[in-house]
Amino acid sequence: MITESGYQGGENFDLRDVLLKGRSLRLADRTALFQDFLGQLRRNEENLCMRCLSSPADREVTVADPATGMTRTMVMFGSNNYLGLATHPVVLARAAKALDAFGAGLGGPPLLNGYTMLHRELEERLAALKGTEAAMIFSSGYGANVGLVSGLTGKADIILYDAYSHASFCDGMTLSGAQSFLFSHNDLAHLTTMLDRATGRPHGDLFVGVEGVYSMDGDLAPLDRILPLCRQYGAHLIMDDAHGMGVMGAHGRGTAEHFGLEGQIPVTMGTFSKTFTVTGGFVASSKAIIDYLRFFARSYMFSASLPPATVATVIAGLEVLEHEPERLTRLHENIAYASAGFRSLGFPVVSSSAILPLRVPEGMDIRKAARAFHDRGIFVNSVEYPAVPVSQQRFRVSVMATHTKEDIDRLLGAVAEIWSLFGYESKEHDDERRRRNAA
């Protein structure tokens, strides 16, 4: 109970209460309230955050159950290890070689002592891959977005950004102090209205922020229509392609390749934490922009560099992408197979990316459903309020090249079973199921 004198304890709260009511409390009461909320989750065996893995993030993982501590084997549908690079022998060998050659880390930021020939090689390869003059590496994707947005934009500038933009892009805008306005997700009519409005008021530069592949729904930004619109209004297009790299396009070079727009996006940001499975991020753009960002992106200038062994894994990953195209083919086949399976269950999955969203009906308890997946040995991530509005809660399935058809069938079976357990019959038609099984 919350009274005038603070939090008195002893009540069941949902997360919305914790966020809304907690705001008015002093720190000690706020943290006590959150402790009670966590205790409630634990008692209900609904806390699936930070499940502890004792294996690589492969198609099959070994996970400790947070409720019992018992270890179990699960099929992994929650990792962005899209091409299976986390355990690729070439990647591991390169990391080991770099450890030997450069030691564990550099102990400093790139502008001072934290830059090696490996960092330079990766930057050059990324620029070539994206068809830009230059690229620079950040120590996280989050830091890349924050540094990029706050480094390039200032109070006089206007940023129009998609409503589904990642938190790191939004944090960059907060830090920059730019005038920022969201447009409805992938709504070009709305974006056009906003561009018209922006050009009618005094401003410095105009920027538009989109994601190549949106991290929540796996859908794509219609770059083929957004880029001409930006050109028409003289706006700089910034694309976050965290989930496009290694997945989209015939060679996995990203969402620009998918749309035949390689080398044409003014500023592309990407991460090493998805396809490449490690940490780090990058920005690819003109030489003038990259030279400028090296000195004005604070998350670059004031943060230590990636360890050389991490940089080496990304270089090795790029080589695998080039020399083993069958991995990408396999990923695309698995995405098509899983998407067809979900459609036959009645989910409107149209994604060509590796992220497949399973929207949860509003009446369905997502935490209990998450527990049901866990109990069936299926590792999926649930995306709950406040990450998304309550009406848009979903499970996010990540498909990998290393999944077998049997893994995907097992997932589809679990979804059908769990939905019916909660009173939502799946709509699988016999003929669709037969066609899928025959494929």
Ligand X SMILES: Cc1ncc(COP(=O)(O)O)c(C=O)c1O
Q: Name the residues that contact ligand X, by CB under 6 A.
A: 140-142, 145, 166, 168, 211, 215, 240, 242, 271, 273, 281
Catalytic residue among 123, 162, 211, 262: 211
Catalytic residue among 88, 130, 236, 274: 274
Tell me whether residue 46 is one of the annotated catalytic residues. no
Residues 315 and 276 sit within 8 Å (Cβ to Cβ): no
CB of 79 to ligand X, least distance (A): 12
Identify which of residues 237 and 418 has a Cβ nearer to ligand X in the complex.
237
CB of 313 to ligand X, least distance (A): 14
The residue nearest ligand X at its CB is: 141
Tell me whether residue 211 is one of the annotated catalytic residues. yes
Identify which of residues 7 and 164 has a Cβ nearer to ligand X in the complex.
164
CB of 270 to ligand X, least distance (A): 9
The set of residues, in sequence order, having a beta carbon less than 8 Å from that of 84 and lying 6+ positions away, is 58, 59, 327, 400, 401, 402
CB of 417 to ligand X, least distance (A): 29
Identify which of residues 278 and 415 has a Cβ nearer to ligand X in the complex.
278
Catalytic residue among 47, 168, 215, 339: 215
Instruction: Collapse the DSSP code of 225 into the 3-class scheme (helix H, G, I; strand E, B; otherwise coil) and give the result.
Output: helix
Report how far residue 38's alpha carbon sits from residue 372's, in angstroms, rounded to the nearest whole number: 19
How would you classify residue 407: left for phi > 0, otherwise alpha for psi between -120 and 50, otherwise beta? alpha
Nearest to 209 by CA among 240, 185, 188: 240
Rg (CA), the chain: 23
Nearest to 415 by CA among 362, 363, 361: 361
| Cis status, amide bond into 386, omega within 30 of 0 | yes
Catalytic residue among 240, 257, 262, 407: 240
Tell me whether residue 21 is one of the annotated catalytic residues. no
Question: Based on the number of CB atoms within 10 Å of its own CB, is 260 exposed (0-12), middle (13-18) or buried (19 or more)?
Answer: exposed
Instruction: Collapse the DSSP code of 62 into the 3-class scheme (helix H, G, I; strand E, B; otherwise coil) and give the result.
Output: strand
Catalytic residue among 88, 119, 130, 243: 243
Identify which of residues 281 and 341 has a Cβ nearer to ligand X in the complex.
281
Tell me whether residue 240 is one of the annotated catalytic residues. yes
CB of 215 to ligand X, least distance (A): 3
Identify which of residues 211 and 407 has a Cβ nearer to ligand X in the complex.
211
Residues 408 and 76 sit within 8 Å (Cβ to Cβ): no
First to last CA, the chain: 57
The set of residues, in sequence order, having a beta carbon less than 8 Å from that of 31 and lying 6+ positions away, is none
SS (H, E, C) 108-147: CCCCCCCCCHHHHHHHHHHHHHHCCCEEEEECCHHHHHHH
CB of 283 to ligand X, least distance (A): 12
Identify which of residues 176 and 344 has a Cβ nearer to ligand X in the complex.
176
Report how far residue 5's alpha carbon sits from residue 25's, in angstroms, rounded to the nearest whole number: 9
Catalytic residue among 80, 180, 186, 334: 80
Identify which of residues 211 and 262 has a Cβ nearer to ligand X in the complex.
211
CB of 294 to ligand X, least distance (A): 19
Tell me whether residue 80 is one of the annotated catalytic residues. yes
Question: Any idea which residues carry the catalytic annotation?
Answer: 80, 166, 211, 215, 240, 243, 274
